[in-house]
Amino acid sequence: MQLNKKLRTFLVLGGILLLCSIQQGLTATPAEVYQEAVPAVVLLVSMEPNSKTHSKGTGSMITNQHVLTNAHVVLGDSGRPMDKTLVFYSFENPNDGIEQNFRKGRQAKVSHYSEKLDLALLEVEAPPKVTPLSLGPADGVQIGDPVLAIGHPENGGLWSLTSGRIGARIRNAKGVRGNHIFQTEASLNRGNSGGPLLNEDGQMIGVSTSIARKAADGLAITGINFAVQSDVAREWLQSVGLRLPKVMAVSVNRLALTPAPEKPVAAAPETKPATTTATTKPTQPAPPAKEKPAPVGVSTPPKVKEETQLLTRPRPFRDDELFDHISNQTYSEFSQQLEAEFEAFQKQQSR
């Protein structure tokens, strides 16, 4: 009898240890999540060739051809998409201050955008084959859950990884019905705009959007960063005609997979197909409220009032060398193409 009791105790303890080891084995490390996700995270550079308006941000491949990012990364002062947006991938552009050639920029076209939600959908010309990031369920995310962010922060390295936890869930941010966001302590800075906020299973549960750095009275604010919830992004993408597969939500004990619950956005915000025609009237953003956070995709520090706004349009920033290099590279390639065509024409005429 005593032997059977000891045996049962041993089996129970053994089962607990086995369960713990299985749970640990199913949870990826931050390094594993990063290695899996980073090929689908892109650097976005948008420019107006005939002006000083330019913007650097981050995006996520969510299909084999589509990139999800922030609207303020690709929209100019006119409220319309900037003339040129280039997409760069980590495996084609070394994170090296000497060897950053950025020769592999692919053209992208803004197909739809929503200024109210600060979301934009891009189509990339001839994209490489990468595994897209999946939009995970935001409904089950709890305050205190660990998260990771990947992006290109100002004065930092490209494709940088930061980590933190969910600090709050905020509904109807900036008074926009259906604009639900996460607050996170994961470090975000200008250049992280549009990048993915990932859970520990590598699913994108948010789109990094804005930060708070200075209060109206000048007091410094730290660790307050925001991301549009993935369920909001999914509903918006469906509203513009892009259907994504359902993502399985990993349960708390990491042992069972259940379908993610679908919660409709309370009201569909205004969405616009992208156009560059002069007749298009840009959406007028709502008047800013006091002490609102600033966007993270712009690098030149704006005035205090602008810095405390949420979802503002892009402004020029300090990565002048990057823009100069890309502009010079584009001009050089164009010149080489013209010279090659002229030489071919001369050879044809001499025959």
* CA–CA separation, 166 and 138 (whole Å): 11
Catalytic member of 54, 55, 66, 319: 66
Mean of the pLDDT values across residues 229-252? 83
Mean of the pLDDT values across residues 260-275? 51
pLDDT of the residue at 329? 61
152 given a catalytic annotation: no
Of 5-9, 12-16, 260-264, 296-300, minimum mean pLDDT range = 260-264
Mean of the pLDDT values across residues 104-120? 95
* CA–CA separation, 24 and 19 (whole Å): 9
Catalytic member of 55, 118, 160, 319: 118
46 given a catalytic annotation: no
* pLDDT exceeds cutoff 90 at 3: no
112 given a catalytic annotation: no
pLDDT of the residue at 79? 87
Of 29-33, 64-68, 128-132, 335-339, minimum mean pLDDT range = 335-339
* pLDDT exceeds cutoff 50 at 255: no
pLDDT of the residue at 316? 36
Domain 33-129+318-334 has CATH 1.10.10.60: no
* pLDDT exceeds cutoff 50 at 262: no
What is the pTM (predicted TM-score) of this model?
0.72
By CB neighbour count within 10 A (0-12 exposed, 13-18 middle, 19+ buried), where does 206 fall? buried
Q: Give percent of the chain above pLDDT 90.
A: 49
Catalytic member of 193, 210, 230, 299: 193
Mean of the pLDDT values across residues 188-206? 96
* pLDDT exceeds cutoff 60 at 281: no
Local confidence band at 49 (pLDDT 50, 70, 90 cut-offs): confident
Domain boundaries, the chain: 33-129+318-334
Local confidence band at 5 (pLDDT 50, 70, 90 cut-offs): low
pLDDT of the residue at 95? 80
